[in-house]
Chains A and B, each alone.
Chain A
Amino acid sequence: MKIVVCVNHVPDTETKVKVGADGKLLDPTGINWMLSPYDEFGIEEGLRLKEKNGGEVIAISLGGDANKETLRKSLAMGVDKAVLLKDASVRDSFAVGKALADVCKEISPDIILFGKMSIDYYDEQVPGIVAELLGMSSVSVVVKMEIADGKVICEREIEGGHEKVETELPCVISAQKGLNEPRYPSLKGIMAAKSKPIEEKVPVAIANRVEVLEMRKPADKGAGKILGSDEAAVNELVRLLHEEAKII
């Protein structure tokens, strides 16, 4: 089975976001980067599929040289091969999806795994874009999956519940937390990952379809009212919710 896992290199979740000098992008100074948390579920699922069905797992990341760190982590977890689509320019979701779809077309995988979303741009759209560009099926926000005889049965989260979905290989899956428990890289894996080569490819440049005009910090709300801690505070809270905030 040929398994592709797309992984992204993102600022860690503790990052204090500062707006860069151009007013459109993140100021990168002092930021720690990491493998996007949801992508770990994609890698783990890929490794499990290989363990069950044989084949190989290929991790792909789009970005600059820094993304090699995330690819090394993927290799350390047990991925067989890593491909860096080397392009540090800022791409919108469509351009990212197009670059990933192009390389997937060459690889012709049975399954393409993603994390549900990348925790930087937060848009959850790239897996669907890749699937549509490749004319493949896709199931998003998957918490359970099983493959038998080329048939894929998934459980995905929907608003207030779950949905059982059926499709066939090849397909694109985006992983939600809960799909599996990602493994830690073993010491052996970490050592082996250091010497494994990372293949580099340059994606075709295409125009962004979405242009960033301005990046800013959200408006500061200012401190609220502290109502104390006694019974009167509870009554005061209820009064404020009713009369001031007009919520109840």
Chain B
Amino acid sequence: MKILVFAEQREGNLKKSALEITSAGKMLATQLNAEVEVLLVGNNVASLASQLNGFGAVKILVGEDARLQTYSTTAYAKAIADVAKQRQANIVLLSASQMGKDLSPRVAVKLEAGLAADCTALKVENGDIVATRPIYAGKAMIDVKVTTATKVFSLRPNVFSALTQNGNATAVEKISLELSDADFSVKAISTSVASGRPDLTEANIVVSGGRGMKGPEHFTLIEQLADAFGGAVGASRAVVDAGWRAHDEQVGQTGKTVSPSLYVACGISGAVQHLAGMSSSKCIVAINKDKDAPIFQIADYGIVGDVFAVLPPLTQEIKKVTGL
């Protein structure tokens, strides 16, 4: 039995999720008596293979093509499906990142495979893989089983922990990708990735502000705390709808779903739609004046107080610890 892991890179940078899903693949492989192969696809990406060393794969497959310098939905999907067929993979794992969610439906259809998307847990029961995925914005969970011979799973970023890298070198094999120009019917012509703060969906720490911040100008307090943590900035829907922050930053049912190690909710009361987007965070801190705000019901630590009084000293204290 073989598990193929698609290791995501963007602009030549390997995504942390690549290590998470390689580790999840290794966990499955141990229980299924299977082996894991990792697939790296792009242009000039061979050097990234060393970062995937020692996470339990038997091989790292590197498929390069100059035309893959920028992302192409159609070409990447074909490359992944072709390799899965050639290597006779029974299971394909991708990240449920923006790229993974764009690729996985196409890969699954090409492989005639069932697809469980955005999984937050995988386990083996009686030889079957049982995947857990949140539905209704995390208000319920379902356990699902993929019934086709080939199975595709996409795994939510930040949820699966990466194994500790061991010193074992993993074999690297260059493979050829059979891509024609027709496979590039969808092609990115430019990419702009904001520098500075980490992306919301990938950040380990997220600091979010809500209506309690009283105005867009006060979001500097949120930004300063986020920077002290080296984290990302989020916002509630009310704040985005009011035009204080861009929609990119909205956390919640009609915004982004985040699963950081730490989520700090500042001046956010905790509408169900907001809780839906962040309730899978590992540790939740809430700062709110209203002691009855629903956010306190899911917070691990709460400070009942005015954000304007709490945030500046908190930022100072965090800076002392993190040195940022």
List residues of A whose CB falls within 8 A of some B CB. Answer: 11, 13-17, 19, 24, 26, 37-38, 92-94, 97, 119-129, 131-133, 137-141, 143, 153, 156-168, 171, 176-178, 207-218, 221, 223-231, 233-235, 237-238, 240-242, 245, 247-248
Binary A-proximity of B11-53 (CB < 8 A = 1, otherwise 0): 0000100000000000000000000000000000000000000
Would A224 and B299 count as touching, CB distance under 8 A? Answer: yes
**Contacting residue for A166 out of B140, B187, B205, CB 8 A:** B187
For the complex, is B261 an interface residue (Cβ under 8 Å from A)?
Answer: yes
Give the residues in chain A near B318, CB-CB below 8 Å. Answer: 238, 248
Give the residues in chain B near A176, CB-CB below 8 Å. Answer: 247
Would B98 and A158 count as touching, CB distance under 8 A? Answer: yes
Q: Tell me the complex Cα distance, A210–B133, Å.
A: 12
For the complex, is B208 an interface residue (Cβ under 8 Å from A)?
Answer: no
Would B144 and A213 count as touching, CB distance under 8 A? Answer: yes
Binary A-proximity of B109-146 (CB < 8 A = 1, otherwise 0): 11001111110000000000010011111111111111
**Contacting residue for B73 out of A138, A162, A207, CB 8 A:** A138
Would A229 and B303 count as touching, CB distance under 8 A? Answer: yes
Q: Tell me the complex Cα distance, A215–B143, Å.
A: 6
Would B302 and A225 count as touching, CB distance under 8 A? Answer: yes
Binary A-proximity of B254-293 (CB < 8 A = 1, otherwise 0): 1101000110000000001100100100011100000100
Would A123 and B109 count as touching, CB distance under 8 A? Answer: no
Interface size class of B (residues with CB under 8 A): 35 or more
List residues of B whose CB falls within 8 A of some A CB. Answer: 10, 15, 71, 73-74, 77, 97-99, 101-106, 108-110, 113-118, 130, 133-148, 185-194, 198-202, 205, 229, 247-248, 250, 253-255, 257, 261-262, 272-273, 276, 279, 283-285, 291, 296-306, 310, 313-314, 317-318, 321-322
Q: Tell me the complex Cα distance, A231–B144, Å.
A: 47
Looking across the interface, which residue of chain B has its beta carbon closest to that of A133?
A: B109
Q: Tell me the complex Cα distance, A124–B284, Å.
A: 26
Give the residues in chain A near B143, CB-CB below 8 Å. Answer: 212-216
Would B304 and A245 count as touching, CB distance under 8 A? Answer: no
Q: Tell me the complex Cα distance, A223–B248, Å.
A: 30
Given contacts A13-B272, A140-B101, A225-B302, contact A123 B118 (CB under 8 A): yes
Would B302 and A224 count as touching, CB distance under 8 A? Answer: yes
Q: Tell me the complex Cα distance, A11–B253, Å.
A: 12
Give the residues in chain A near B115, CB-CB below 8 Å. Answer: 93-94, 125, 209-210
Q: Tell me the complex Cα distance, A127–B318, Å.
A: 43
